[in-house]
Structure 1
């Protein structure tokens, strides 16, 4: 059943605009990481391995906290947090912002609904989400969302600087995982 789901997800990626921008593809193993993050303004350690032990993870990278698109995307993920929880998924937002900024963002814009975490240069490289401006890395991340199955394999990728489809597409992917499981 998982092979069928992976094949269907890969076929869907061919028709989803912006999906081909990310280097990591469906079926790849998600690189593990441990970093600092914040939930409801409180600092915490964030480990992909620990999160996957609970179920699938929606790992979304965003360029910069408190910018217009990133704020709207955080609001959209917060509004859909109940739907993600019902599908058994954990949502984690990542950027290269510092911990004090993430603490404020987690409360003000994520509305205390999900964790945001610091994307180190190693994590940015591992997930191939470095935002380049005129071919030069800017230190920011591309707006890229990954859905990672409990077994650590990537089942969906969407990379598009327009935030509007990220929540819908990741939610559809985790709901498909739940019905396939």
Structure 2
């Protein structure tokens, strides 16, 4: 069944990018971390989120940078479309949760949670990106990568692209195709 769905999505043009970290069909690692929604910090668990339907898990490099702010605002603008397709959206970065709490109110417009990706999540999702600051010190941030994860925990779409623009439309198209193929989850 899962293979048929992945094949259908691929035929519709929703195959993983050549640069994507984890490929369609891979099992998404479960995690529990601290997240924020509307400025309130809470514990976020992927397995619990998947009980509600597909999850768009998108990683972004750093809160309050131009591209990441634009991407968050675009996801917030389309959150109704994601919900209509039965999906939820979670943004993740290596930022500390207090910074993400502020980001969740400003750029995410209180519409979806953002969570702090620790070293294990960054490794499990293959999104580590080394950044060298103006001070010459290297730090690990998260690469701009989006995943759509089916309720069974398998990745059905992945995209790694430094441009923020393609992530919202591509993940939305994928969850709509998933909802059409699985009407009981939408």
Are 2:27 and 1:29 aligned?
yes
* Counterpart residue number, 1:76: 74
Match of 1:48 among 46, 49, 62: 46
Per the alignment, do residues 140 and 98 of structure 1 end up closer, same or farther by CA in structure 2, a change over 3 Å counting? same
Q: Which runs of 5+ in 1 are unaligned?
A: none
Equivalent pair of 2:92/2:114 in contact (CA under 8 Å): yes
Output the TM-score relative to the length of structure 2: 0.90
- In structure 1, how many angstroms separate the alpha carbons of the residues matched to 2:10 and 2:143? 21
Alignment check: 8 A CA contact 1:130 1:138 kept: no
Following superposition of structure 1 onto structure 2, how do residues 1-181 of structure 1 map, counting pairs within 5 Å?
1-10=1-10, 12-13=13-14, 19-133=17-131, 138-181=139-182
In 1, the alpha carbon distance for the partners of 2:48 and 2:98 equals: 23
Q: How many residues align?
A: 177
- Deviation of 1:99 (Å): 1.2
| TM-score, length basis structure 1 | 0.92
Distance 1:83 1:143 in 2: 22
RMSD between aligned residues: 1.7
d(CA) in 2 for partners of 1:82, 1:156: 20
